[in-house]
Amino acid sequence: MSVEIDLSGKVAIVTGAGSGIGRATARLYAEAGATVIAADRADSVHETPAGNPAIVAHQCDTADEASVAALVARAVDEFGRLDIFYANAGIASVPHSFWDSGPEDWTEVLRVNLIGPALAIKHAAPVIVKQGGGAIVCTASVAGLRSGAGPASYSASKAGVINLVQTAAQQLAGTGVRVNAICPGLIETGMTKGAYDYARANDKMSKIGQVNPTRRGGQPEEIAGAALFLASPLASYVNGHALVVDGGLSSSHPLSPGELSHNYSGPRED
C-alpha cells in the first residue's frame, strides 16, 4: 500500500532555498501541494521556482530579525496562513582551524546557523499556534552530535540547534506546534562542493562517504524527504527530536573500512 504526503492548502517557508537542501525541499513541498515561499539572501533564490507558480522567491537575510518578521508577515498577508517553517539556512566555518578563528568568525556562524532558526521559531510559532498547529523544522548536522564532522564553530552552532528545538518543543507544549531538527551527514551541496569537485577530478569518488555503512554521500533530495516527513501528519507524534540522516555515519565511532573486522562478505556455511 502506498502512502502519499499531501500538503494541499498548506503554506510553507523554506530558508536557504537558493540552492542545495533548501531548494530541493521547496520544490518537494510544492510537489506535495503546498504553497512555498523560498527565502535566501543569495540571488540564486530567484531560480528556485523554475516556473512553478506554487513557489515564490523572497530575497532576505534570514538571520536578521526584521527580515524574518517580514518574511512571516508576507506569508500571512499574501496567503492567509503559515503552516510550516523550515529554517534551513546555514554557513560553514571559515577559517576551518579552531586556532585561527576569531570572535568575528564565531559570531557570524552563530548568527546565521543558530540565531536564524531561533528567530524563525520566535516569529513563526505564534502564527502557527493561532491556526491550531503546524510544524517547524530546523537544519542541524551530525557535526552537532559529536566532534569529527566539522569545524568547531560550525559544530557548536549545530549542537545549539539540536538543543534549540528541544527547548522550543517544551515551551510550545500543548499548542499543536511541533519543532524538530534534521542532522544531515555528508550531502552534496555548495558547502561540500570543494570536496566533491576534488574527488571527481582525481577519480576518488569512492572515497566520498567511505566511513558510513551506506558507502556514499547523500543528495539534497534525501534530506528534503526527511523535511517533508517532519512537516507532514505522518510525523504527528514526533516532537523535540533530531532526526539523523547520514547514511549511518553516526552509528559508530569512526574507523577506516580496513579496520572493520565484521564487514559483510556474503552468505557462508559453517
Residues marked as catalytic: 154
Can you tell me whether residue 229 is helix, strand or coil? helix
Question: Would you give the DSSP letter of residue 215?
Answer: -
Task: Give backbone dihedrals phi and psi of 94, rounded to 5 degrees, phi first.
Answer: -140, 120
R_g (Cα) of the chain, nearest Å: 19
Q: If you search the block for the grid coordinates 564487514, which residue do you land on?
A: 263
Instruction: To the nearest 10°, report the CA torsion of 78, 82, 84, 88.
Output: 60
CA distances from 149 to 3, 101, 174 (A): 34, 17, 35
Cα 89–27–25 angle (5° rounding)? 40
Which residue has cell 546565521?
A: 112
The set of cell numbers assigned to 46 is: 530567484
Distance CA 23, CA 28 (A): 9
